[in-house]
Amino acid sequence: MRLLDLKGRIFLAALAVLAAGAALLNLALPESAALHVPNYAVGLIGKYLCFALLALSVDLVWGFAGILSLGHGAFFALGGYAMGMHLMRQIGERGVYGHPELPDFMVFLDWKELPWYWHGFDSAWFALPMCLVVPGALAFLFGWLTFRSRVTGVYLSIISQAMTFALMLAFFRNDMGFGGNNGLTDFKDLFGLDLKDAGMRAGLLLASAAALAGGYLLCRWMTVGKFGRVLVAVRDAEQRTRFLGYRPEHYKILAFTVSAMMAGVAGALYVPQVGIINPGEFSPANSIEIVIWVAVGGRGTLVGAALGAVLVNYAKSFLTGAAPEMWLFVLGGLFVAVTLFVPKGILGEIPGLRARWRERRDGHG
Amino acid sequence: MAVRNAIFRLVLVLFAAGACLAPGGGSASGGFDAALVLLAGKSAKKRMAGIEALAASAHPAAAPILSAMVDGRLYYRKDDKRLFVVAKRGREFDLFDPVAGEQAGTAPSKSLKKVKVNNRLRRAIRKALAGLNLTHADRAIRLEAAAGLLKSADPGLRPALVAALEREAGGDVRAAMELALAAVDIGPDSTPAVRIAAAERLGASESPEARALLGRVVGDAKTDAAVREAARAALQQIEDRLELYRQFGAVFQGISLGSVLLLAAVGLAITFGVMGVINMAHGEMVMVGAYATFVVQELFRTFAPEFFGLSLAVAVPAAFLAAAALGVGLERSVIRWLYGRPLETLLATWGVSLVLRQAVRTIFGPTNREVGSPEWMSGAMELAGGVAITYNRIWIILFSLAVLAAVMAVIRYTAFGLEMRAVTQNRPMANAMGIRSRKVDSMTFALGSGVAGMAGVALSQIDNVSPNLGQAYIVDSFMVIVFGGVGNLWGVLVGAMSLGVVNKFIEPFSGAVLGKIVILVALILFIQRRPQGLFAMRGRAAEL
């Protein structure tokens, strides 16, 4: 299999056009122009691209390794918190309390000094790698514990859900030192550039698009080669793969860890664009929602996962604005309808449809 | 014995023994009348004698008169020196007969004179009142007097206390008096031997006063070493016992929490354990049960408020039926098509759960709904050491055990239970034997959902009835199932109770939230070691 098939090329091209186009039309045209892309739309697209990257990470483990993780929101949130901590340290003396060292919420809690785990986050050289290292380390530990004891299927799903639930409870506590309920917010700038600046926002959008493209290529690279074949074998018949002499747990741990790091990058790019990270991101409901993005777009298709994330989130933005009551009905209905009627997802159904269409044409011809 | 007799005799002399033993007798009422005359006397000495005589008379009216006197409401008429309890109304006083307590007309304030009290008299009155109350006919008043004595530990009241003890047959009043006597005896006026004995007796009590008294003795460096040692031992004894009560309280709280988890998890054990279906909408079945309770109670409030106490009894079957009907609907429309695909089932039922939550939010509103408790469920049982056991918790524990027993009985003894087990163990073979496995699936799912609905009735008594009610318990219930072992109802019982108790024991050290995290992490680690849970299924079913 080639690294870039037709689907992938279309995807990358569309992504480049979308991101570059939105950034260009936002920056180059005056606000009065008909084709001008407003600032909020740039932020929204950037957000969708982060979600797409997150969906891609879930598709890597669910679509190819058969691991239904209901806790990927935790990796996303951890990456986000690592970035949030860096942004908090960047505020410096400009906080409400004007403390040179401590973020506002610590001053409010009457803390005297920075907790040890906050040290180093003032430097981007430390904070940015942490966005990958922290989720990756947690995923490695989690995978090491579960895959080696051969916890699979729904058990694994429930444990991963418990993991993110426990983290949510922990991050809600004020004395954890992550801002408790309110999380981290009031960010000012990144790399010395104002976050509200249009150029910065366009830059973040482009960075998200680049990360998504990179994540896609990484997933493709991991899944087209021998590694990917073994991964799929593990998904479809774990015992048989083991009997053939492979160590399924090694493959699963690696895929899971890489996937968690991708989720962490998505979170790290998400936070500066929305301006807040709070413990709600850890909620199990969020993690399940990611799975439905993947299911809608097509499990195991990568491009479909990204597409599903954008589609579902666009519907969410639209419906929560237009008819907030309806959104949960639609989301719930989506869960049921997709699993019952479109189990392969939108992209997954296309080959079947094409085959049927060809059959009909041949039959008539 | 001789000492006690001697003291008793002394008391007899002091308090006019005849009056004590036979209140209302001729000589007693004579003593009472004479005492009243003395109270109106000019000199404090006479009034003191009056107080003592009044106390000795043990007349029922003696206590009210003395308390009126100490409050400054006892007056005498200047003309005839007759005593009255007064209620002031400007210049005019309402007069009350001190003996009968009835109103005896009014009089201008000028015609009356207050019976004056000084500090010495006040002390004497207090003592006399304590003595009178200690021998009062009303049990509650005697108990209160003994409790008051325990607080004041006034050595001057010791004789009265001893006298009262002689008359007290037994029961809690006597126990309270003995404790009060010990409190008096441990004071610095007693001999070391008496103090040591008193310390031992105080050590048998849990009252804060006893602890304070013992603590004072331990802290007083001037006290005899042996006495201090005894007091310290007694104090330690109390602390140990209180710790025991606290532990008992924690165990009870844990069992109570465990029974809630049990209720939520039994239904899940049926759908997940027996059928292998992950029902993420299980929590919503619990919620539906709670809202069914709310609806039933509203109907009772509207149509039959006088039978409100029965509302829960009606709500239990109503909630069962509502949730079971919903469960059948869910099984027929969604789950049936996804058998053998657990991950898809999980996602689809999660969607159902979202829809149900939003539907309830639309129908009943997003805020908490008020669900009342009938009278027989409210209130609490106070145990020693500040441990309280609320009745609704006890009812829920009993209810959860009853539900578990009923489910077990259904599975073991009914034809339906037999078919259910047959289908679980070997579906094709059950089909071949003429069991309609599809129908059994529906019924099993209905049973599991119905049990969840009944859990909702119980939860409505201790938790807020809101659309998110079920979500609060779903993760915990899954943990119970996973911990106890899939497909084993005994495992569910043990899992729920141990999780509940462990939770409540960790909480004091780490706080509620951190306790929950600790438990979750511990469970995640536990599952690494024993993926099958505590009670693993053996045989063919284990390979599924």
Query: pLDDT tens, B262-287?
Result: 888 888 888 876 777 778 888 899 99
Please tell me whether the interface predicted TM-score (ipTM) of this complex is above 0.90: no
| Residue A76 clears pLDDT 90, i.e. is over it | yes
Tens of pLDDT, residue by residue over A308-352, are 899 888 888 888 888 878 888 888 888 888 888 888 878 877 777
Domain parsing of chain B, residue ranges: 2-134, 245-366+390-543
Classify A275 as helix, strand or coil.
coil
The CA-atom distances, in angstroms, between B317 and each of B260, B301, B458 are 18, 18, 12
Q: Give the single-character DSSP code of A329.
A: H
Q: Quick check: B520 and A165 CB within 8 A? A: yes
pLDDT in tens, B394-426: 888 899 999 999 998 998 899 988 888 888 888
Q: B516 and A166: CB-CB below 8 Å?
A: yes
Q: Is there a contact between B529 and A149 if contact means CB atoms under 8 Å apart?
A: yes
Task: State how far residue A274 is from chain B, nearest Cα, in angstroms.
Answer: 25
Residue of A150, A153, A172 lying closest to B342 (CB–CB) = A153
Tell me whether residues B531 and A155 touch, CB distance under 8 A.
yes
pLDDT of residue B171: 74
Alpha helices in B153-224 (DSSP H): 158-167, 171-185, 192-203, 208-219
B474 to each of A158, B283, B333, how far by Cα in Å? 11, 5, 22
Instruction: Tell me whether B384 touches chain A (CB under 8 Å).
Output: no
User: Residue B114 and residue B75: Cα distance in Å, rounded?
Assistant: 4
Q: Which pTM does this prediction carry? A: 0.74
- Give the per-residue pLDDT at B386: 66
Contact B355 A333 (CB under 8 A): yes
The closest of B220, B222, B243, B245 to B232, measured between CA atoms, is: B220
Q: Is B516 on the interface with A (CB under 8 A)?
A: yes
Distance separating alpha carbons of residues A170 and A176, to the nearest angstrom: 7
Task: Nearest by CB to A332, from B352, B478, B516: name it.
Answer: B352
Domain range for A299 is 6-364
**Which residues does chain B have within 8 Å of residue A149's beta carbon, measured at their own beta carbons?**
527-529, 531
Mean pLDDT, chain B, rounded, equals: 78
Give one DSSP letter per residue of A41-64, joined into a string: HHHHHHHHHHHHHHHHHHHIIIII
Q: Give the Cα separation of B38 and B24 in Å (integer).
A: 19
- Residue among B523, B525, B503, B500 nearest B513 (CA): B503
- Closest to A11 measured CA to CA, from A205, A213, A218, A206: A213
- Whether A1 is covered by a domain: the verdict is no
Query: What's the mean pLDDT when you consider all of chain A?
Result: 85
Q: CA triplet A82, A148, B425: central angle to 5 degrees?
A: 120
With contact defined as beta carbons under 8 Å apart, do B254 and B466 qualify? no
List the CATH number of the domain containing A177: 1.10.3470
The span from the CA of B194 to the CA of B217, in Å, is: 14
Q: How far apart are CA B31 and CA B52, in angstroms?
A: 10
Contact B539, B289 (CB under 8 A): no
pLDDT of the residue at A328? 84
Q: What is the pLDDT of residue A298?
A: 85
**Strand B92-96 to B103-108 pairing:** antiparallel
Record: contact A335-B347, CB cut-off 8 A: yes
Torsion angle, alpha carbons of B416, B417, B418, B422, to 10: 100
Contact (CB<8Å) A145/B524: yes
Q: What angle do CA A146, A150, A153 make, to 5 degrees?
A: 85
Question: How high is the pLDDT of residue B26?
Answer: 40
Bridge partners of A194, per DSSP, are A189
Among chain B residues, CA nearest to A152: B531
Q: Which pLDDT score is estimated for A54? A: 94
Give chain A's length.
365
Q: For A157-191, how does the pLDDT look when each residue is reduced to its tens digit (9 = 90+)?
A: 888 888 888 888 888 887 778 888 888 887 777 78
Asked if the B245-366+390-543 domain carries CATH number 1.10.3470, the reply is yes
Question: Nearest by CB to B520, which of A68, A166, A328?
Answer: A166
Residue scoring higher pLDDT (B8 or B136): B136
Which single residue is written with the structure tokens 């292998």? B276
Size of interface A-B (CB pairs under 8 A): 110
Residue of A171, A339, A340, A342 to mutate for B, most B C-beta atoms under 10 A:
A339
How many domains are there within chain A? 1
Residue A293 is assigned to a structural domain of this protein: yes
Our CA-based measurement puts residue B403 at a distance from the nearest CA of chain A, in whole angstroms, of 26
pLDDT in tens, B114-124: 887 888 888 78
Percent of chain B with pLDDT over 70: 88
Residue type at B442? S
pLDDT 10s digits, B228-247:
787 788 888 888 888 888 88
Sorting pLDDT into bands at 50, 70 and 90, what band is B531?
low
Contacts of B345 in chain A (CB under 8 A): 339
pLDDT at B15: 47
- B532 falls in which pLDDT band (50, 70, 90)? low
Q: How do residues B162-188 score in pLDDT, each as one tens digit?
A: 777 777 777 777 777 777 777 777 777
